[in-house]
Amino acid sequence: LHQQAEQTCRQLVRTQEEHEHLLQAAVEQAEGLEHSLRSAEAVLAERAAQLRDAQAQLSRNKLLIEDLRGENRRFAMALQAAELKQKSTEEKNQLLEEQASALKQLIGKITPASLSG
């Protein structure tokens, strides 16, 4: 009985040592996972900051695009007004050229008549 008790005791000690080794391995694994988790959280935080920066830049770009579109519309309207003014000026020039031509013809008719008089 004494021998059996010693054997059981040794077996319990071995089992306890095995459990301690397993527990130590589990603790080390948990520490490794915790470290990996902290690293992943740091990477995620950095990526989130990058995404926030990119989103802010995108918002600024959208505002700039809207400003440029507004400026483009103003330029298009100014160009259209300038084209209308140019067309009006060309029409006035054409009319003046026609009047000048008519005056030259009239002067051409009057001048020989006054010289012969």
Q: Does any domain span residue 117? A: no
Q: Does any domain span residue 112? A: no
Confidence of residue 111 (pLDDT cuts 50, 70, 90): confident
Q: Does any domain span residue 7? A: yes
Q: Residue 114: pLDDT above 80? A: no
State the average pLDDT for the chain.
95
pLDDT of res. 23: 97
Q: Does any domain span residue 95? A: no
Q: Residue 22: pLDDT above 80? A: yes
Distance CA 74, CA 45 (A): 44
Q: Does any domain span residue 1? A: yes
Q: Residue 1: pLDDT above 80? A: yes
Question: pLDDT, tens digit, for every residue of 56-102?
Answer: 999 999 999 999 999 999 999 999 999 999 999 999 999 999 999 99
Torsion of CA 23, 27, 28, 34, to 10 degrees: 160
- Enumerate the H helices of the chain as residue ranges: 2-116
Q: Does any domain span residue 64? A: yes
pLDDT of res. 10: 95
Q: Residue 117: pLDDT above 80? A: no
Write down how long the chain is.
117
Domain that holds residue 11: 1-82
Q: Does any domain span residue 49? A: yes
| Count of structural domains within the chain | 1
Q: Which two tokens mark 107?
A: 């002067």
Cα angle for residues 53, 58, 62 (degrees, 5° grid): 150
